[in-house]
């Protein structure tokens, strides 16, 4: 059965038609509080993000480094849960009809909610994709069947250490985009990006035309520019979340800071 395009896939089609690279911006949902977080998501979109990635706060985020872990804790301390994040997505969908919205969350959150119920609610709220760092490829069928044409898309993560056959298997089934992890470890800002990511991208190109976005550690616009020469785009997160941590007592400045930072990275890859 033919799969249907969604806003995420349509966005990449538009970007390719204009020979543009994609910028995905990650923010932890509910950090530092619900209304401010919502304003920051809007600021990221207004700053030029092509894809908005919202983190669902979780108490044990294994793939996240210290910056995002602190952000998750700040949100949890405010009582934020997955329902709040879905409400946030619904609000943003009402204002930005064609903006791809992706949630990053851990499988336990979905399991506790109930897999069918979560999928149904995510679709109804306007979510286009899910990134689940702790869900291996082999268990992906728990959430998505081959013949499933409904949204949201389940975005796969792939590391530079992935062996060839597994890479081929993942790449051939991928939809939306493949989240290429720049180097081993957790999220967080880094001064240097491992050159292995470039050979990984070249290997992947043999198996798929699905867009390849690189994340984990992209901290400077020059890094984004360099990586986007080979990738279809980049994902930034900790560099934005750190602005929230640094200005936790001055919420009024945050939307401007986030908008400016996103604009800086988008211009670097344009």
Tens digits of residue pLDDT in 25-62: 999 999 999 999 999 999 999 999 999 999 999 988 77
Q: Spell out the CATH class of 22-137+155-262.
A: alpha beta
Mind telling me the catalytic residues? 53, 64
Residue 100: asked if its preceding bond is cis (omega within 30°), the reply is no
Give the rounded percent of residues in the chain with a pLDDT score beyond 70: 89
Tens of pLDDT, residue by residue over 178-231, are 999 986 544 444 455 778 899 999 999 999 999 999 998 899 999 999 999 999
**Region 134-159 average pLDDT:** 72
Domain ranges (residues) in the chain: 22-137+155-262
C-alpha distance from residue 172 to each of 61, 150, 162 (Å):
28, 19, 14
Q: How confident is the model at residue 168 (pLDDT cuts 50, 70, 90)?
A: very high
Integer Rg of the chain from CA: 17
Euclidean distance between CA atoms 53 and 88, whole angstroms: 12
- Looking up tokens 């995002």, which residue turns up? 68
Of 154, 110, 95, 92, the closest CA to residue 128 belongs to 154
Asked if 185 and 215 count as a contact pair (C-beta separation under 8 A), the reply is no
pLDDT tier at 143 (50, 70, 90 boundaries)?
A: low
Tokens encoding 40: 């920051």
Place of tokens 């180097």: 183
178 phi, psi to nearest 5 deg: -105, 125
At 208, give phi and psi (nearest 5°). -155, 155
What is this structure's pTM?
A: 0.91
Find, among 175, 113, 121, the residue nearest to 147 by Cα: 175
Cα 180 from Cα 45, distance rounded (Å): 22
Average pLDDT, the chain: 89
């Amino acid at each position: 059965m033919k799969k249907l395009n969604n806003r995420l896939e349509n966005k990449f089609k538009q970007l390719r038609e204009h020979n543009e690279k994609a910028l995905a911006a990650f923010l932890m949902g509910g950090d530092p509080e619900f209304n401010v977080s919502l304003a920051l998501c809007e600021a990221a979109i207004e700053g030029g993000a092509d894809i908005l990635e919202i983190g669902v706060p979780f108490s044990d985020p294994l793939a996240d480094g210290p910056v995002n872990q602190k952000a998750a804790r700040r949100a949890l301390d405010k009582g934020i849960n997955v329902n709040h994040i879905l409400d946030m997505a619904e609000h943003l969908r009402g204002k930005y009809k064609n903006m791809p919205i992706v949630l990053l969350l851990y499988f336990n959150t979905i399991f506790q909610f109930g897999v069918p119920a979560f999928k149904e609610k995510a679709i109804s709220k306007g979510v286009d994709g899910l990134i689940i760092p702790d869900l291996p490829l082999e268990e992906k069928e728990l959430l998505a069947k081959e013949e499933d044409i409904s949204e949201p898309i389940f975005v796969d993560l792939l590391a530079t250490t992935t062996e060839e056959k597994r890479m081929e298997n993942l790449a051939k089934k991928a939809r939306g985009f493949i989240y290429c992890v720049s180097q081993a470890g957790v999220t967080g800002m880094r001064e240097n990006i491992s050159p292995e990511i470039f050979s990984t991208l070249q290997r992947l190109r043999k198996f798929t035309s699905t867009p390849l976005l690189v994340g984990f550690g992209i901290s400077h616009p020059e890094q984004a520019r360099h990586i986007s020469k080979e990738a279809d785009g980049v994902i930034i997160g900790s560099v934005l979340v750190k602005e929230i941590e640094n200005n936790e007592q001055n919420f009024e400045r945050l939307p401007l800071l986030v908008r400016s930072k996103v604009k800086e990275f988008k211009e670097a890859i344009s």
